[in-house]
Amino acid sequence: MKYRTFLATLMLFLFSFNFGILVISAITFKDTANSAKERSLGEHYFITSALIKDFHAVESRGNDIEGYLDSLLQPYSYLSEDKKVKLALYKDSRLVYSNRLRIELQDNLLEPPKNGNRIVSIQKSEDGTYVIVSGKLPDPYDSYTMSYLYDMTDEITSWEQMKNMLFIIGFILSCFLSLSLLFLFNRIFKPLAQISQISRSIADGAYETRLPVSGHDEISEMAQNFNSMAEKIQNQMTELITEAEKKQQFIDNFAHELRTPLTAIYGYAEYMQKAVMTESDRLFAINYIMSESRRMQTMAYQLLELANLKNDQIVWKEQEISRLFQYIKTTLHNKIIEKEIKIEFIYEMDIVWGDACLLESLLVNLVDNAIKACSKGGHIIIRAAVENGKKMICIRDDGKGMTAEVLNHITEPFYRAEKSRNHNDSGAGLGLAICKQIALCHNAELKFISHPGEGTTVKITFTTSK
């Protein structure tokens, strides 16, 4: 595109430039010819006017004009001293006087009209180019035709030299301007070339590549817009890669979670089929198979619940904080007594909007995790308050806490902070993923603050005005 534009612009420029030189040359030639014609007409008129007076003087003395032609025309010989002017006098197409005339005149010049009009023409011969003015003398001497020839060869030569010089200068200027135009187009199209190269780089996966931005013109604005577009593409690709990795991790974790109980179920079933077992061994194997089956069933229900939370709309209703806290006490009563956990409830607001079942599930899951994190005789504080104009429920425990790496992945499905814990303690790793989705359904932000050995604080901040 750059070279096509360059060639088109260059051809248009060269055509316009050389056409301008031709026009200037034509105007200059026309001015030169007109100047020579005006001079020739003036001198022709001067000579013919004086010659008529001389003819009258000769006839008044009773003499024949033809006998005195040489002497009458001799005073005008000064006009031809520079050998650029020639005179010719014809009588009825017969040459009666000539001043070094070497050019044969055209017939129309020998027979000009008798009404006093003169014929002016430019005629080229072997010895030069002439402006020829021819006209008949007035009555009673209209049988005579005076021809004035002015040699304008030097003017033509000067004009040709000027024309050639113009074309030489024009050629030099054309070369210089062609190089300048090529340099200019290279600068103008450089950002486009960079955009093309960087676009290929981005297409090859180098999403961090950016255009250099300098100045405040349209090119700079285009570079900024391109960089903005590239940044958005990079962010989207990063998000897609992250989502793909999360999905792959979800599949890997899900496959791992299925493989363990399936392996145990298959192993015990094969053992029951092939080995001779006592009644107690058979009951133990059946109980283990049922336990693993229930765990797989629970996992399926949790996955179904997680999928439904992403698709279903919740029913917004007023929920009393006191009722939600009482539900936590009732549901987790046995675990609280078993670990001798001290739970402290702080009420600084009365109402929160949302779905009763989902909020109960959210709070029970979070408090249950807090109980698991606490050692025997631990302390948990559950506080409902308003901070910065937004309603908030905070759950803080004095348990073992979590590292920053664990906090980054804690809400991912099937993620378990401690891989060594048995399945009965840690579950399938879907609880906090469900909690995060419940919070999103309520337009709430779920935030974890924790450090190893310093306990964990979970904040549920409701961003809606309800």
Per DSSP, the residues of 263-328 read HHHHHHHHHHHHS---HHHHHHHHHHHHHHHHHHHHHHHHHHHHHHHHHPPPPPEEEEHHHHHHHH
In the chain, which residues fall in CATH 3.30.565.10? Answer: 314-462
Residue 112: its pLDDT value, please?
A: 74
> In this model, does residue 280 exceed pLDDT 70?
yes
The CATH 3.30.450.20 portion of the chain extends over 2-161
What percent of the chain is modeled with pLDDT above 70?
Answer: 83
**pLDDT score of 249:** 65
Q: Which CATH code, of 3.40.50.720, 3.20.20.190, 3.30.565.10, 3.20.20.140, is assigned to 314-462?
A: 3.30.565.10
pLDDT score of 256:
60
- For residues 411-433, give the mean pLDDT: 61
Split at pLDDT 50, 70, 90, the class of 16 is confident
pLDDT band per the 50, 70, 90 thresholds, residue 397: very high
User: Is residue 466's pLDDT more than 80?
Assistant: no
Residue 423: pLDDT above 50? no
How would residue 144 be classed by pLDDT, with cut points 50, 70 and 90?
A: confident
Give the mean model confidence (pLDDT) for residues 89-105: 77
pLDDT of res. 461: 93
pLDDT tens digit sequence for 435-455: 888 888 888 899 999 999 889
Q: Between 298 and 359, where is the model more confident?
A: 359
Residue 190: enclosing H or E segment and its boundaries? helix 153-203
Over 90: is that where the pLDDT of 405 sits? Answer: no
pLDDT score of 457: 94
Residue with tokens 């924790």: 450
Q: What is the helix (H) or strand (E) element at residue 382, kind and residue range?
A: strand 379-387
Residue 422: pLDDT over 50: no
Cα gap 293→320, rounded to integer Å: 37
Residue 245: partners with Cβ closer than 8 Å, 6 or more residues away:
none
Q: Characterise 403 by phi-psi region: left (phi > 0), alpha (psi -120 to 50), beta (else).
A: beta
Confidence grade of residue 421 (pLDDT, cut at 50, 70, 90): very low
Taking only the tens place, the pLDDT of each residue in 298-331 is 667 666 666 666 666 677 888 899 999 998 988 8
pLDDT tens profile 208-249:
777 777 767 676 777 778 788 888 888 888 888 877 776 776
> What does the pLDDT look like over 364-379, one tens digit per residue?
889 999 999 999 999 9
Higher per-residue pLDDT: 412 or 152: 152
Among 199-203, 343-347, 351-355, the range scoring the smallest mean pLDDT is 199-203
| pLDDT, position 425 | 47
- Euclidean distance between CA atoms 83 and 87, whole angstroms: 11
Highest mean pLDDT: which range of 72-86, 108-122, 407-421: 108-122
Higher pLDDT, 80 or 337: 337
Query: 3-class SS at 387?
Result: strand
> Of the CATH numbers 3.40.50.720, 1.10.287.130, 2.60.40.10, 1.10.3720.10, which one belongs to the domain with range 210-312?
1.10.287.130
CA 285: distance to chain centroid?
69
Q: What is the pLDDT of residue 77?
A: 64
96, 90 contact by CB (below 8 A): yes
Instruction: Name the residue among 414, 7, 445, 104 with its Cα closest to residue 247.
Output: 414
**Average pLDDT, rounded, for the chain:** 81
Of the listed ranges 11-15, 262-266, 310-314, 325-329, the least confidently predicted one is 310-314
Quickly list H helices, 74-152.
107-110
So what's the pLDDT on residue 88? Answer: 84
Return the CATH architecture of domain 2-161: 2-Layer Sandwich (3.30)
- pTM of the predicted protein model: 0.45
Share of the chain above pLDDT 90, in %: 13
Looking at residue 370, what is its pLDDT? 92
**For position 320, what pLDDT does the model report?**
92
Phi and psi torsions of 394, nearest 5°: -120, 135
Beta-sheet pairing, 379-387 with 342-347: parallel
Higher pLDDT, 33 or 194: 33
Q: Of 465, 414, 399, which Cα lies nearest the Cα of 256?
A: 414
